[in-house]
């Protein structure tokens, strides 16, 4: 594929207590709420899902119940799709051939993937692979659009919705490649934007599809299909764009070339394609999108490193686990992010990020892991190498607990330091905020609660002034205000 992204085919990057902002963040208008509004990571448990008898397995998708789908080698060396129900890894078999792989899983426990049919089942020349839908009992062959191959979207748990509908691409009788929509009965050809090829990349609950297609002039453009018409989303000024994520509102995230030839992440709101910029470099890709219109992905920095980002009006650098490269693969409704990062030693580890800090999820004893999917309760699925060097499907469970006022102060301190590192706040302004945080901590340690509250209130006022004066953006300043107000609320009890 032309654009570089995280996909299941290799899950590639491009070429104690953890203090984090949790999903319970609320605006300061909730001043009457006295309970903690932020969370910290209390524990992380790691579970080896095993294999189907072979040496290797990889998780491809995770649902709300914590069930997992993916692929595993068998004792005979074949690769089969699996469904893990929380206890047992179930072999989904094949369509008669010697391999299958699961790409997507919904909350009903249904699975979409691809499989080789039985020898002789293909009457068309070429690589013979068919998309399948597994309903919990039976693997159903979705057929093709007349060619030898069909497959659901390769992107991370993007090609199957709650209704059991599927999108992907298939070869036609003329050997072109067209996006398809399978409605539970029929595979529908979505056509193209005037060229010969198109690919369905993402599907939402309404049965809308986003992807990319060649145009009559030979360019590749992102598209949005509303159930009837394929709409060209255009580009950011260049000749290429690709839609990589789609939310319930029909908004799209992806990547596009610009007039200068750079490649930037974009967000399409239903009307306009917005350039999300970069973290200082010339490349960014938006690969995950939630219903709050937050976008996660990766971007190059001014120093040519690659960092994961979260965009929510402003692109936030999520940092790394000590190395130079990180990438976001999954984003949930709470704005939590999972993916992979290099460590200071050069290994690649899965991470979980929740507001200010990137947490290393570790491995199964080897030197590599990667997070591929994330659900709304903080469970993460991916893979890890074992001590023997085998790669196994893995599920991590991140347990949160309410943050104490002292921990919320530490959350603010970490966020301020990150703003300085990212170039979003000057060192001089940061020193004033950090001095207030140190003073509030000293007052708390001395049992002077009212004094600590007063200092935190002064910090809020200072941050509000920074926002009003344009020193700090609202997107960067509001989390600091929220955390300080949450600490004040708890200290008021």
Instruction: State the Cα–Cα distance between residues 463 and 474, nearest whole angstrom.
Output: 9
DSSP β-bridge partners for residue 358: 353
Q: Tell me, what's the pLDDT at 211? A: 98
Taking residues 282-295, report their average pLDDT.
97
Instruction: State the Cα–Cα distance between residues 424 and 438, nearest whole angstrom.
Output: 21
- Would the pLDDT of 384 be above 70? yes
- Would the pLDDT of 250 be above 50? yes
Q: How open is the CA angle 419-425-429, to the nearest 5 degrees?
A: 120
- Would the pLDDT of 7 be above 70? no
- Would the pLDDT of 355 be above 80? no
297 or 358: which leads in pLDDT:
297
- Helix, coil or strand: residue 14: coil
Lowest pLDDT segment from 20-24, 197-201, 362-366, 403-407:
20-24
Q: Tell me, what's the pLDDT at 356? A: 67
* 96-105 and 89-91 strand pairing: unpaired
24 — pLDDT class (breaks 50, 70, 90):
very low
- Please state, for a pLDDT cut of 90, what percent of the chain lies above it: 80
Which residue has 């030839």 as its token pair?
Answer: 261
Q: Tell me, what's the pLDDT at 40? A: 78
What are the chain's domains? 28-404 (2.130.10.150), 406-491 (1.20.58)
- Would the pLDDT of 63 be above 90? yes
pLDDT tens digits, residue range 305-349? 999 999 999 898 999 999 999 999 999 998 999 999 999 999 999
Report the mean per-residue pLDDT for the chain. 90
Q: Tell me, what's the pLDDT at 29? A: 30
Judge contact between 296 and 287, C-beta under 8 A.
yes
- Please state, for a pLDDT cut of 70, what percent of the chain lies above it: 91
- Helix, coil or strand: residue 90: strand
Q: Tell me, what's the pLDDT at 465? A: 97
Lowest pLDDT segment from 49-58, 148-157, 321-330, 371-380:
148-157
pLDDT tens digits, residue range 105-163? 999 999 999 999 988 777 666 679 999 999 999 999 999 999 999 999 988 789 999 99
- Would the pLDDT of 430 be above 90? yes
Instruction: State the Cα–Cα distance between residues 340 and 475, nearest whole angstrom.
Output: 25
pLDDT tens digits, residue range 393-415? 999 999 888 889 999 999 899 88
pLDDT tens digits, residue range 209-239? 999 999 999 999 999 999 999 999 999 999 9
pLDDT tens digits, residue range 453-468? 999 999 999 999 999 9
Q: How open is the CA angle 36-38-43, to the nearest 5 degrees?
A: 110
Q: How open is the CA angle 334-437-29, to the nearest 5 degrees?
A: 45
């Amino acid at each position: 594929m032309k654009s570089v992204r995280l996909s299941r085919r290799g899950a590639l990057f491009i070429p104690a207590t953890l203090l984090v902002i949790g999903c319970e963040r609320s605006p300061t208008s909730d001043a009457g709420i006295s309970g903690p509004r932020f969370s910290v990571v209390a524990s992380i448990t790691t579970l080896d899902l095993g294999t189907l008898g072979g040496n290797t397995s990889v998780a491809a998708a995770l649902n709300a119940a914590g069930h997992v789908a993916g692929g595993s080698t068998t004792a005979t060396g074949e690769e089969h799709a699996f469904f893990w129900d929380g206890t047992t890894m179930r072999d989904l078999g094949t369509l008669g051939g010697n391999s299958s792989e699961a790409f997507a899983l919904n909350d009903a426990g249904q699975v979409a993937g691809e499989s080789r049919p039985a020898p002789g089942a293909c009457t068309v020349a070429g690589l013979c692979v068919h998309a399948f839908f597994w309903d919990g009992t039976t693997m159903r062959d979705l057929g093709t659009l007349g060619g030898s191959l069909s497959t659901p979207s390769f992107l991370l748990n993007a090609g199957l919705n709650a209704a059991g509908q599927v999108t992907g691409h298939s070869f036609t009788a003329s050997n072109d490649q067209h996006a398809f929509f399978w409605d539970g009965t029929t595979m529908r050809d979505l056509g193209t934007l005037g060229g010969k090829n198109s690919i369905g990349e993402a599907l939402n609950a309404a049965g809308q599809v986003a992807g990319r297609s060649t145009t009559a002039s030979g360019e590749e453009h992102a598209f949005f299909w509303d159930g009837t018409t394929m709409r060209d989303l255009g580009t950011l000024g260049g000749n290429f764009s690709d839609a990589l994520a789609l939310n319930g509102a029909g908004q799209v995230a992806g990547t596009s070339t610009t007039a200068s030839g750079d490649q930037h992440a974009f967000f399409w709101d239903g009307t306009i394609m917005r350039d999300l910029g970069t973290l200082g470099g010339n490349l960014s890709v938006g690969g995950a999108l939630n219903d709050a219109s937050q976008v996660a992905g990766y971007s190059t920095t001014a120093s040519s490193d690659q960092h994961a980002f979260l965009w929510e009006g402003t692109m936030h650098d999520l940092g790394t686990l000590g190395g130079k490269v990180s990438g976001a693969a999954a984003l949930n409704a709470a704005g939590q992010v999972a993916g992979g990062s290099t460590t200071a030693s050069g290994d690649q580890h899965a991470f979980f990020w929740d507001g200010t800090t990137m947490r290393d999820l570790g491995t199964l004893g080897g030197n590599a892991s990667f997070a591929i999917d994330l659900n709304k309760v903080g469970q993460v699925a991916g893979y890890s190498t074992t001590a023997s060097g085998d790669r196994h499907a893995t599920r991590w469970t991140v347990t949160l607990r309410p943050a104490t006022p002292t921990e919320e102060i530490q959350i603010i301190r970490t966020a301020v330091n990150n703003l300085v590192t990212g170039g979003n706040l000057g060192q001089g302004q940061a020193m004033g905020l950090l001095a207030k945080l140190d003073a509030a901590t000293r007052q708390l340690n001395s049992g002077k609660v009212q004094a600590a509250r007063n200092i935190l209130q002064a910090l809020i006022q200072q941050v509000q002034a920074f926002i009003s004066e344009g020193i700090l953006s609202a997107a960067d300043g509001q989390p600091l205000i929220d955390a300080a107000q949450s600490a004040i609320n708890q200290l008021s009890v």
